[in-house]
Amino acid sequence: MPKSILHADMDAFYASVEQRDHPDLRGKPVIVGGSPESRGVVSAASYEARRFGVHSAMPAAHAKRLCPHAVFLPVRMQRYQEVSARIRSIFESFTPLVEPLSLDEAFLDVTGSIRLFGPAAEIGRQIKEMVRQQTDLTVSIGIGPNMFLAKLASGYQKPDGFLEIREEEKLAFLEPLDVTRLWGVGEATAQVLHESGVRTIGHLRNVPLSVLRSKLGKTADFLLELAHGEDAREVVPDAEAKSLGSESTYPEDVSDIESLETTALEHAEQVAFRVRSARLQARTVTLKLKFADFSLSTRSRTLADATDRTDVIAGTALALLRRHDAARSRPVRLVGVSVSQLSAASERQASLFGREEEERRRSLDRAVDEIRSKMGEDSIKRGRLL
Amino acid sequence: MKFITKPVLLANAFQLVGGVIPANSPRPALNNIRLETKGGGVELIGTDTEVALRSLIRDVRVEQEGVVSIPPSNLALIMRETRDEEVVFQAEGNVCEIRSPRSRYRIQGDDPHNFPFVPFIESGKSMEFQVGDFLESIRRTIFATAKEKARFALNGVLLEMSGQDFQMVATDGKRLSMVSKTLEQKVEGKIFAIVPRKAMELFERIAAGREQEKLLLDVQEALIQFRVSDVTLSAKLVEGNFPNYREVIPKEYPIRLELPAAPFHSDLQKAAYMASDTSRVVYIGFKKGMLTFKSSNEGVAEAELEMPVEYDNKELVLGFNPEYLADILKVLASGTFRMEFAEVNRPVLVRADEGYLNLIMPITPTA
């Protein structure tokens, strides 16, 4: 059964809350963030201010030049959190599967709510109405069979937008859109694609995977999936239960354990890099295998102490793979590594023994991270250390 | 096979030996207990192939010799609840029947030939200890073993003896606990045995209530054996390299502080209750005349406690997993202990009583 995912995005959230709390500001350009006299940046701009070209993350002084008569207000984070909690409880009255991305944005998996509340579009309209009634704010809603399409839909007619992209119309919908609308296509990737004459998502679909891979490397597979309106990510409700993962599907099923190990190592490396980049550490490592018959297997191991070290995460993933009998006997289609039980990496339990070795591993991780951050994620790969 | 005995004796033996048996072994024979008439008594053996336990019931009347292998089948519980004076245990082939005047139980057993061979040492040259002494050493070290599987040597307790020196050591790589003693008699040769945690736990069970009795200890090649009266525990030693623990024990630290165990434990515990579940850290601050315990669960809870102490040295804050300290404080005999340290990134020494040393690696904030 196809899923029904809903993406709810509050319109100019901080600025709208201010306009609601100060009715005299309605209809006026409002900019929330640093004062134009300081070196602060814009946190949010009302639609009235956006018309002058003001957008978030812009230096406040620059915004002042673009829109001199705008009202500048300080950020009242606590207030926005209060309103956000109110809105979130509206979402949660329809489904427990709510994944907030920030104070003003969330994904809802309403697949299981349809029997109770009616079709996804009906749920979307009810949410819009309840948000308006209870908070006097507007929310843009996008609905789709997956997270990518839902988010695309919510951003399509902002503000106060409402759009559903159905499974059967997704290909036609994506066809004319610019490739930059695909998740993960930034300036650099867009330039590569434009140079090959690929401007729309429709164009992209017609490029053979091998050609795309030669230009973009491993992201090619992922982009092509998105171009076909496919996105396997799932809505993860609890922020605590969040995990970080990396996985890939082989072009052809793989049976030899060494190739599987190499792939698992690459994913472990990727995951460890992301754990460190987010200044987190993880306690549980999970290995995911999908076999040729599409059956799925996951194995986890929880460590004594949370870690952000590549060698520990990779070593655990490898141990799980080596102990997995089926991995030796059945062809594998997909390999993934993920970590969970994440916590802030603010402190670390040091070891009594082998501290030099540990320090050596950490400085190696730091060096690799630096190169990856500067040159891109595919810039460096480790030899088989394990 | 046929014998008559008191139900409580069967209950005790089944309970003890049943403690070794793995919950659900893929080898059905391992889920069984082997009973055999021997020298006028009945011997029960259970094993998981790594650790084996043998218990001899002497107070029986054997009417027919024999051997049988049966699952424990809650017999310990049933026998403990049996109010009749005596029970008759009889086996025909692999089927056992246990009768008393008012009850009858039948259990389908297994061919005793399927029961694995269990080695026991019959040396006659055992080392002698007092059960209570040995038990205390185990209780003071066993908590420091690594809890997660597959840490091999770190999952065991090291028993090292040479001449009159006795050392028992356990470490999970982040803390270490060691008991050192001087033996009354010299041991022959050098003993360096990593004893699996499970064997030490079983010994604790055997030893309970028998502190005044004699322990006969044997170590031979890859096997260690504990014998207390009619109960014998044998275990395969853990193979693997025990870390060079002597290397990490600091010779001399500049700062030493004598502390009262009970109030320290109490303040530590209160601070620990407020620590976050994921990081589990209590920061102990040392400054002139005062100790502070601080913990927090970001944005949710916070604790700060002060304890006056006689401290007159440099100011320092050390982060601890509170369990590591509490584990030690729980097994102290005396009311005080000593902390010795130098700086935040060096292991902290915790000493107490005679010959009891612990090392704890502090938790350090990441840069």
CATH of the domain at A117: 3.30.70.270
How many CB atoms are closer than 10 A to CB A196?
13
pLDDT of residue A325: 82
User: Best residue in A349, A351, A357, A365 to probe B by mutation, most B CBs within 10 Å?
Assistant: A349
Name the residue of chain B whose CA is nearest to A283's CA. B278
Chain centre to alpha carbon of residue A342 = 16
Measure in Å the smallest separation between the Cα of A279 and chain B Cα atoms: 10
Pairing of strands B156-171, B127-130: unpaired
What is the ipTM for the molecules in this complex? 0.76
Burial B29-51 (b: 16+ CB within 10 A, else e): bbbbbbbbbeeebbbbbbbbeeb
Domain assignment of residue A247, yes or no:
yes
Residue A254 is part of a domain; what is its CATH number?
3.30.1490.100
d(CA A80, CA A69): 24
| Residue of higher predicted confidence among B25 and A333 | A333
Name the residue of chain A whose CA is nearest to B243's CA. A353
Structural domain ending residue among the three candidates A147, A165, A183: A165
The torsion angle over the Cα atoms of residues B58, B59, B60 and B66, rounded to 10 degrees, is -10
Tell me the average pLDDT across A181-200: 86
**For this structure, is A230 an active site residue?**
no
DSSP three-state, residue B62: strand
Q: Are residues A202 and A223 in the same domain?
A: yes
pLDDT of residue A385: 47
Burial of A299 (0-12, 13-18, 19+ CB in 10 A): middle
Percent of chain A with pLDDT over 90: 39
d(CA B261, CA A278): 40
User: Best residue in A308, A352, A355, A359 to probe B by mutation, most B CBs within 10 Å?
Assistant: A352
pLDDT surpassing 70 at residue A384? no
| Residue of higher predicted confidence among A381 and B330 | B330
Torsion angles phi and psi, residue A363, rounded to 5? -70, -30
Q: What is the DSSP string of B245-280?
A: HHHHS-S--SEEEEEEHHHHHHHHHHHHHTS-TTT-
Torsion angles phi and psi, residue A93, rounded to 5? -75, -10
Which residues have CB under 8 Å from A335's CB, separation 6+? A247, A248, A250, A260, A263, A264, A267, A287, A288, A289
- For residue B71, the number of C-alpha atoms closer than 13 Å in the C-beta half-sphere is 13
pLDDT of residue A1: 67
Domain assignment of residue A237, yes or no:
no
Name the residue of chain B whose CA is nearest to A340's CA. B278
Nearest CB partner across the interface for A353, out of B147, B248, B279: B248
Q: Tens digits of per-residue pLDDT, A211-264? A: 888 888 877 888 888 999 998 888 877 544 467 888 888 888 898 888 999 999
Q: Are residues A2 and A68 in the same domain?
A: yes
Chain centre to alpha carbon of residue A376 = 18
Chains A–B, number of C-beta pairs less than 8 Å apart: 59
Q: Are residues A176 and A157 in the same domain?
A: no
Nearest CB partner across the interface for A352, out of B150, B248, B321: B248
How many CB atoms are closer than 10 A to CB B135?
20
Pairing of strands A244-254, A332-344: antiparallel
pLDDT of residue A371: 80
pLDDT of residue A386: 46
Using an 8 Å Cβ cutoff, are A147 and A97 in contact? no
How many CB atoms are closer than 10 A to CB B271?
24
Q: Are residues A43 and A124 in the same domain?
A: yes
Q: Are residues A49 and A148 in the same domain?
A: yes
| Residue of higher predicted confidence among A284 and A2 | A284
State the Cα angle at B270 between B292 and A239, rounded to 5°. 105
d(CA A153, CA A7): 8
Identify which of B221, B227, B158 has the alpha carbon closest to the alpha carbon of residue B189.
B221
Q: What is the DSSP string of A313-356?
A: HHHHHHHHHHT-HHHHHS-EEEEEEEEEEEEE-SEEE--SS-HH
Measure in Å the smallest separation between the Cα of B195 and chain A Cα atoms: 20
Given CB atoms, is A309 within the 8 Å cutoff of chain B? no
Mean pLDDT of chain A: 86
Domain assignment of residue A236, yes or no:
no
Largest Cα span, chain B? 78
Q: Are residues A323 and A304 in the same domain?
A: yes
Domain assignment of residue A271, yes or no:
yes
Domain assignment of residue A233, yes or no:
no
Helix or strand holding residue A71 (H, E): strand A71-73
pLDDT band at A377 (very low <50, low <70, confident <90, very high): low
Structural domain ending residue among the three candidates A131, A165, A199: A165
- DSSP summary character for residue A70: P
Identify which of B157, B250, B360, B153 has the alpha carbon closest to the alpha carbon of residue A349.
B360
Domain assignment of residue A232, yes or no:
no
Number of domains in chain A: 3
Q: Are residues A56 and A157 in the same domain?
A: yes
d(CA B230, CA B217): 14
Provide the domain limits for residue A298: 243-385
Q: Are residues A339 and A358 in the same domain?
A: yes
Domain assignment of residue A84, yes or no:
yes
Identify which of B1, B144, B148 has the alpha carbon closest to the alpha carbon of residue B63.
B1
Q: Which of A18, A48, A99, A105 is catalytic?
A: A105
Nearest CB partner across the interface for A350, out of B150, B279, B364: B364
pLDDT of residue A238: 56
pLDDT band at A39 (very low <50, low <70, confident <90, very high): low
Structural domain ending residue among the three candidates A115, A137, A165: A165
Percent of chain A with pLDDT over 70: 94
d(CA B86, CA B77): 16
Residue A195 is part of a domain; what is its CATH number?
1.10.150.20
Domain assignment of residue A235, yes or no:
no
Lookup: tokens for B213: 């009795």
Q: Are residues A153 and A177 in the same domain?
A: no
End-to-end CA distance of chain B: 71
Q: Are residues A251 and A214 in the same domain?
A: no
Q: Are residues A289 and A371 in the same domain?
A: yes
> Alpha-carbon Rg of chain A, whole angstroms?
23
Q: Are residues A52 and A197 in the same domain?
A: no
Across chain B, which has 367 residues, the per-10-residue mean pLDDT values are: 95 92 76 93 94 95 95 88 93 93 92 90 88 96 86 89 96 95 90 95 93 94 93 93 91 92 95 81 94 84 92 93 95 92 92 94 82
Sheet holding B87-92, edge to edge: B60-64, B2-5, B87-92, B95-100, B103-108
pLDDT of residue B367: 58
Helices first, then strands: H and E counts in chain B: 7, 24
DSSP three-state, residue A24: helix
